[in-house]
Amino acid sequence: MDERSLIEGMARGDRAAFREFVEQYKKKVFFLALDMVGNAVDAEDISQEVFLKVFRSFATFRKDAKLGSWLYRVTYNASIDHLRRKQFVPEPVGDEVLESRSRDDNASLPHGGAADPAAAVESSQLQVRIARALDKVSPQEKAVFLLRHYDDLMLKDIAATLGLSIGSVKSYLFRAVRKLQKELGGSPLISGVEASHD
């Protein structure tokens, strides 16, 4: 079902169209919420709220707007509301967690298998460092970064989705990338580039 048929079906209150809409967008909504709040239980709760809100208030949707952008906006707002309600303070991932994850990864490796334990530990440590770096970015900066980097939205589309000017989107994104660079400074990939410019 294309987007126009979906919109028309939902405007009529067609349950099949709503289901199709949920199936098409559930992963985008869930992952944006998960990236914003960092907890799968809350992310599913937010995703359900978003879809129910869309279902209830579809009449307010401007038919000439992009369905995906509107949905991102509703998800972003729901995630921000959630963080505000919770007065969310991200818990920093400590070195002991990092070490224990490395140990867990080592333990789960097949004995004598082809997997490279050193590479697995390195990869696991990198994931922890990335998560920790993202925690240092403000929710607004994070949302702009996630939409650009992982959902591949153009800057102007992010501006339209979040109701910001393009200048603000660029500014948020620049600050996000600078913060990430600062946090990931010790990563071999980045420190190699830094060293080559010293």
Per-residue x/- marks for another protein, 106-135, CB under 8 A?
-----------------x--xx--x-----
Among 48, 69, 140, 168, binds another protein (CB under 8 A): 48
Compute the half-sphere exposure of residue 36: CA atoms within 13 Å on the CB side of its CA.
32
Per DSSP, the residues of 141-193 read: HHHHHHHHHTS---HHHHHHHHT--HHHHHHHHHHHHHHHHHHTTTSHHHHHH
| Cβ pair 147, 153 in contact under 8 A | yes
Of 29-37, 65-73, 98-106, 109-117, the segment contacting another protein by CB under 8 A is 29-37
Can you give the length of the chain in residues?
Answer: 198
Contact predicate 14/6, CB 8 Å: no
The region of 2-10, 47-55, 64-72, 100-108 touching another protein under the rule CB under 8 A is 47-55
Is residue 34 within the footprint of another protein (CB under 8 A)? yes
| Residue choice 89, 107, 114, 119 for contact with another protein (CB under 8 A) | 89
Question: Exposed (0-12), middle (13-18) or buried (19+): which is 119, by Cβ within 10 Å?
Answer: exposed
Chain residues in the site for another protein (CB under 8 A): 19, 22-23, 26-27, 30-31, 34-35, 39-42, 44-45, 47-48, 51-52, 55, 82, 85-89, 91, 123, 126-127, 130, 148-150, 154-155, 170, 173-174, 177-178, 180-181, 184, 187, 189-190, 192-194, 196-197
